[in-house]
Amino acid sequence: MAALPEEIAPLIDEMRAAPDWRTVTLGRREYALGTLRGLPCVMTLARVGKVAAATTATAMIHQFGVDAIIFTGVAGGVARQVRVGDIVIADALMQHDLDASPLFPRFEVPLLGVSRFGTDDSLSDALAVAAASFVRAQATQLVQRYRGVIDDMPRVHRGLVVSGDRFIADHAAREAVLAAAPDALAVEMEGAALAQVCHEYDVRCAVVRTISDVADAHAAVSFSTFLAEVASAYSSGVLQRFLAQHRVQQ
């Protein structure tokens, strides 16, 4: 799953080359079904936001019987050590804009008793290996090719990613996110909703995000530039390695 076309288009194009490729339209979304790197897959655009992600994840589980979901795309970096061009693998996800207090503790999902949802260790480990391999193979080329967008050698991080239905694009909003979750590495708009659905249905999930901006006043411009020029290279590069590794393990 991804939120925007640029984040997943090369993978869908690759799937279209498979003889068993087909599409199913459901809930105003087009799901691509077929084989990718030798593995049966379903791919779709969730679109932007937590409701969109939850709706799409539920359809993936109920309509297509998936046993694992990976969300890929871009995010804003909020930790000081996270820079544009870095990759973040989520070990946990939380909704930074969820607050049902005083009825429930802030950030806790009512009636679930959970505020942070973990990802699947084996999937996240495999994504981290794939991301590190991608960085080793492509980092120098990426910095040279996208100079001015990526200024430092990319790095791979693992930790907390927070989600909310707001694009974080100013200093005050960024600091508010960090005040809510001081250990957050990145902020985006879908991952925690996906993780909640997978938690409730006992389906494995993982989230891999490329840092497109640092959630400041320049975020909108940085995001748009990164999305148009770089995002697909990262998503396809990491996931192609992940799928090849996953096929070998099977």
Contacts of 47 (CB under 8 A, 6+ apart): 3, 29, 56
Q: Is residue 35 part of a domain?
A: no
**Is residue 71 within 8 Å of 191, Cβ to Cβ?**
yes
What secondary structure letter does DSSP report for 120? P
Name the amino acid, one letter, at 81: Q
In tens digits, the chain (250 residues) has pLDDT values of 999 998 888 889 988 888 889 999 999 999 999 998 888 999 999 999 999 999 999 999 999 999 999 999 999 999 999 999 999 999 999 999 999 999 999 999 999 999 999 999 999 999 999 999 999 998 888 888 888 788 889 999 999 999 999 999 999 999 999 999 999 999 999 999 999 999 999 999 999 999 998 888 887 778 888 888 888 889 889 999 999 887 555 5
Under DSSP, is residue 39 helix (H, G, I), strand (E, B) or coil?
strand
Q: Is residue 147 part of a domain?
A: yes
Q: Is residue 24 part of a domain?
A: no
Domain with 141, as residue range(s), is: 68-247
- Burial class from Cβ neighbours inside 10 Å (0-12, 13-18, 19+) for residue 64 reads middle
**Domains: count for the chain:** 1
**Is residue 215 within 8 Å of 177, Cβ to Cβ?**
yes
The answer to pTM > 0.75 is yes
Q: Is residue 22 part of a domain?
A: no
Return left, alpha or beta for 85; rule: phi > 0 is left, psi -120 to 50 is alpha, else beta. Answer: left
Residue 95 tokens read as: 């909704």
Q: Is residue 202 part of a domain?
A: yes
**Residue from 113, 101, 73 nearest 199 by CA:** 113
Q: Is residue 137 part of a domain?
A: yes
pLDDT number for residue 145: 85
- Choose, from 86, 91, 190, 213, the residue flagged as catalytic: 213
Indicate if 213 belongs to the active site.
yes
Indicate if 67 belongs to the active site.
no
pLDDT number for residue 222: 82
DSSP β-bridge partners for residue 42? 33
Half-sphere exposure of 50 (CA within 13 A, CB side): 19
- Choose, from 6, 7, 14, 120, the residue flagged as catalytic: 7
Contacts of 75 (CB under 8 A, 6+ apart): 88, 161, 186, 187, 188, 209, 210, 211, 212
pLDDT number for residue 247: 59
Under DSSP, is residue 3 helix (H, G, I), strand (E, B) or coil?
coil
Cα angle for residues 95, 203, 1 (degrees, 5° grid): 65
DSSP code per residue over 231-243: HHHHHHHHHHHHH
What's 217's domain CATH number? Answer: 3.40.50.1580
Q: Is residue 113 part of a domain?
A: yes
**Is residue 190 within 8 Å of 52, Cβ to Cβ?**
yes
Q: Is residue 146 part of a domain?
A: yes
